[in-house]
Amino acid sequence: MSIAQDEPGAQFRLSMLLNDTRYRGYTFQAVALLALIAFMAYLGVNLVQNLAAAGLNISYQFLGEPAGYDINQRLVEYTSQSTHWRAAVVGVLNTLLVAFVGCFLATVIGVFVGILRLSKNWLIRQLTSVYVEIFRNVPVLIWILIVMQIFIVVLPQPRDFKGANASASMWFDAFAFTGRGFYTPKPIWMDGSWVVVAVFLASILGVFAFRQYAKTRLYRDGVMLERFWTSLGILFVPCLVVYFIMGQPIGLDYPALKGFNFKGGVYMRNSFIALTFALSIYTAAFIAENVRAGILAVSKGQTEAAASLGLRPNRIMNLVILPQALRVIIPPLISQYLNLTKNSSLAIAVGYMDLTGTLGGITLNQTGRAIETVLLLMLFYLTISLSISFIMNIYNNAVKLKER
Partner 1 sequence: MTDQHQVAYVRTEMLPEQAPPSSQQGVFKWVRENLFPDVVNSIMTVLALLIIYYLLSGFMPWLFGGVWTADSIRDCREILDAAGREVGGCFAVLTERWNQMLFGFTYPTDQYWRPFTAFLLLPFAVTGLMFMGLIAKAFRILAIVQLCMAALIVVGAMAQGSGLGMAVTPAILAVLAFAISTLAASGTPIVRYLILMTALYPFVAFWLIWGGSILSPLFVMIGLIIGYLVFKRGEAFGFAAGVALGLVATVIVWIIGGQIAGLAPDFLAFEAVRSRDMGGFMLNFILGTVCVSLSLPIGIVLALGRQSDMPIIKIICVVFIEFVRGVPLITLLFVANVVLNYFLPPGTNFDLILRVIIMITLFSSAYIAEVIRGGLAALPTGQYEAADSLGLDYAQATRLIILPQALKISIPGIVNVSVGLFKDTTLVSVISMFDLVGMIRGPILASTEWNGVYWELWGAAILLFFPVCYGISQYSQWLERQLDTSHR
**Crossing angle for the helix pair 370-399 and 84-116, to the nearest 10 degrees:** 40
Query: Residues 101, 155, 346, 353: which binds partner 1 (CB under 8 A)?
Result: 346
Is 51 a binding residue for partner 1 by CB under 8 A? The answer is yes
CB within 8 Å of 370: residues ≥ 6 apart? 364
Instruction: Give the number of other CB atoms < 10 A from CB of residue 212.
Output: 10
Establish if 28 lies at the interface with partner 1 (CB under 8 A): yes
Choose between 50 and 79: whose C-beta lies nearer to partner 1: 50
Q: How far is CA 123 from CA 107, 120, 126, 323, in A?
A: 23, 9, 5, 29
Figure out which of the listed residues 92, 145, 235, 311 binds partner 1, where binding follows CB under 8 A: 145
Using rule CB under 8 A, residue 263 touches partner 1: no
- Using CB under 8 A as the binding criterion, the count of chain residues that bind partner 1 stands at 57
Instruction: Pick between residue 80 and residue 383 the one whose CB is nearest to partner 1.
Output: 383
Q: How far is the CB of 91 from partner 1 (least distance, A)?
A: 13
Least distance (Å) between residue 16 CB and partner 1:
15
To the nearest 5 percent, what fractions of the chain are helix, strand and coil? 70, 5, 25
CB-CB contact of 260 with 158 (8 Å): yes
290 binds partner 1 (CB under 8 A): no
Is position 252 an interface residue for partner 1 (rule: CB under 8 A)? no
Judge residue 178's burial from the number of C-beta atoms within 10 Å of its C-beta, 0-12 exposed, 13-18 middle, 19 or more buried. buried
CA angle 100, 105, 108 (to 5 degrees): 125
Q: Determine phi and psi for 164, rounding to 5 degrees.
A: -75, -45
Residue 268 to residue 178: CA distance in whole angstroms: 10
Nearest to 324 by CA among 289, 296, 305: 296
Q: Is residue 394 a contact point for partner 1 (CB under 8 A)?
A: no
Cα 330 from Cα 304, distance rounded (Å): 24
349 binds partner 1 (CB under 8 A): yes
- Interacting residue with partner 1 among 15, 76, 77, 153 (CB under 8 A): 153
Interaction of residue 248 with partner 1, rule CB under 8 A:
no
Q: Confirm or reject binding of residue 43 to partner 1 (CB under 8 A).
A: yes
- Binding span for partner 1 by CB under 8 A among 105-113, 181-189, 315-323, 375-383: 375-383
* Residue 400 binds partner 1 (CB under 8 A): no
Binding of partner 1 by 342 (CB under 8 A): yes
Residues that bind partner 1 (CB under 8 A): 1-4, 21, 25, 28-29, 32-33, 36, 43, 46-47, 49-51, 53, 119-124, 127, 133-134, 136-142, 145-146, 149, 153, 342-343, 345-346, 348-349, 356, 360, 364, 370-371, 374, 377-378, 381-382, 384-386
